[in-house]
Amino acid sequence: MFTVDQDGAGGRIDVELTRRTGFSRSHVAAAMRAGGAAVNGEVAKPSRILEPGDEVTYTIDPPRVLEVYPQELPLDIVFEDETLLVVNKAAGMVTHPAHGAVDNTLVNALLAHTGMLPGEPLRGGLVHRLDRDTSGLLVVAKTEAALTTLGRAMQKRYIEREYRGIVVGHPREYEGTIRGAIGRDSHNRLKYAIRSDGKPSVTHFTLRKKLVDTTELTFRLETGRTHQIRVHMAALGYPIYNDPIYGKLDPRASLPGQALHAWHLAFKHPVTKERLAFQADPPPGYLATLEALEP
């Protein structure tokens, strides 16, 4: 509990509680939305502006410390040796633990399979990631040296990644390139958007098949920003079909979320330098959706 003085007045309560607790502002705001703070005896919103003499009481528990542990979960392993493995991730599976998804992730399954992974524990072995509802191919390092080499190859754009996706509408061009810097949406922390202060992002697309009110495209990434294809296509006016964040869900879809699948992956082996290339057909839900949208 504390009383607001002249120096503390005029600011938002979530900012003041962030300063006092040392927790993240998002964590403080979430606790407040659950009734974790009150001003003069009344539950306060995160945006409440403090005034001199306000009596503030709060109970904000520390964020849960995330841990990762092995879990026996189904894994579709496309390739594996002593250095790396390539896995075909299922739609609906989170890639690594985070607040809101602390278990049943790909990393949990990988730990059960390998016993140990290099790098940061919560993202052990991951060279790149896929959104929860995006299915497809991922390369995972099994050694520190492989993680470093493959990570550098990803930064230098030496790793080829192609996706198949269904978009709403029919793009006027059969192929094109979208260049738009991507950063977090200032109005919604769950979304990303094209922003002048964002990170450079480039997506190439090519027509694969015209469908009823929709189109299947092939996407090739030059960069790998969070939600990149989804943000770029939504900005172009053709959001990914069944995307719950950048578009809307369609009851005809046999998918948990966006119709997007990482179908092609190619790179040089970090030890042998042999070029490895892999392809994975889209999962049954994607193919059933595609069939339902056929002319």
Backbone angles phi, psi at 8, to 5 degrees: -90, -5
pTM as predicted: 0.79
The yes-or-no answer on residue 185 being catalytic is: no
Note whether 73 and 104 are within 8 A (CB). Answer: yes
Q: Long-range contact list for 25-34, CB < 8 A, 24+ apart? A: 26/189, 27/60, 27/63, 28/60, 31/60, 31/61, 32/58, 32/60
Strand pairing class (84-89; 202-210): unpaired
For the chain, what percent of residues have pLDDT higher than 90?
A: 81
- pLDDT, one tens digit per residue, over 121-154 is 888 999 999 999 999 999 999 999 999 999 999 9
Give domain 2-58's CATH architecture: Roll (3.10)
Confidence grade of residue 103 (pLDDT, cut at 50, 70, 90): confident
What pLDDT, on a 0 to 100 scale, did the predictor assign at position 100? Answer: 64
Mean pLDDT of 168-185: 95
Mean pLDDT of 158-184: 96
Mean pLDDT of 153-157: 94
Q: Closest by alpha carbon to 217, among 267, 163, 143, 155?
A: 163
Domain map (residue ranges) of the chain: 2-58, 77-292
For the chain, what percent of residues have pLDDT higher than 70?
A: 99
Mean pLDDT of 74-98: 95
Domain 77-292 has CATH 3.30.2350.10: yes
Provide the mean pLDDT of the chain: 93
Catalytic residue among 14, 54, 131, 243: 131
- pLDDT, one tens digit per residue, over 9-50 is 898 999 899 988 888 787 888 899 999 999 999 999 999 999
CA distance 127 to 84: 10
CA distance 95 to 108: 9
Confidence grade of residue 189 (pLDDT, cut at 50, 70, 90): confident
Contacts of 15 (CB under 8 A, 6+ apart): 25
- pLDDT, one tens digit per residue, over 238-274 is 999 999 999 999 988 999 999 999 999 999 999 999 9
Looking up tokens 């995307």, which residue turns up?
Answer: 243
What pLDDT, on a 0 to 100 scale, did the predictor assign at position 258? Answer: 98
